[in-house]
Amino acid sequence: MNSTVRKTSNRLADGREIVYFDENPDAPERTAQDTRDLPQVSAASEIRRDPLTGEWVAMAAHRQTRTYKPPADLCPLCPSAPGKPSEVPESDYDVVVFENRFPSFAQGVPDAPPATIDEAGIVPVAPGKGRCEVVCFTSDHGGSFGQLSPTRVRTVVDAWADRTAALSATDGVRQVFPFENRGEEIGVTLSHPHGQIYGYPFVTPRTERMLQTAAAYREQHGRHVLGDVLAAERASGERVVAEGEHWTAFVPPAARWPVQVQVVPHRQVADLTELTDAERDDFARVYLTVLGQCDALYDRPLPYVAGWYQAPSDTDRELSWLHLELLSVLRSADKLKYLAGSESGMAVWINDSTPEQIAERLRTSGRQAV
- Which amino acids are annotated as binding site, given as ranges? 75, 78, 141, 192
Q: What gap in Å lies between CA 154 and CA 329, rounded to an integer? A: 27
Per annotation, catalytic residue among 62, 194, 221, 323: 194
* Backbone dihedral angles phi then psi of residue 328, each to the nearest 5 degrees: -135, 145
- Going 293 to 296 to 301 to 304, the CA torsion angle's sign is negative
CB atoms within 10 A of CB 247: 24
Based on the number of CB atoms within 10 Å of its own CB, is 121 exposed (0-12), middle (13-18) or buried (19 or more)? exposed
Closest to 193 in 3D by CA, of 82, 34, 306: 306
DSSP string, 109-124: SPP--SEESSTT--SE
Give the DSSP per-residue string, 246-308.
SEEEE--TT--SSEEEEEEESS--SSGGG--HHHHHHHHHHHHHHHHHHHHHTTSPPPEEEEE
Pick out the residues of the known binding site for Zn(2+): 75, 78, 141, 192
The DSSP secondary structure of 57-81, one letter per residue, reads EEE-GGGGGS--S--GGG-TTSBPB
Residue 205 CA to residue 297 CA, distance in Å, equals 31
Query: Is residue 194 annotated as part of the catalytic site, yes or no?
Result: yes
Total Cβ atoms within 10 A of residue 246:
19
Contact criterion met (CB below 8 Å) for 167 and 286 = no
Q: How far apart are CA 239 and CA 360, in angstroms?
A: 7
Q: Show which residues are catalytic.
A: 194
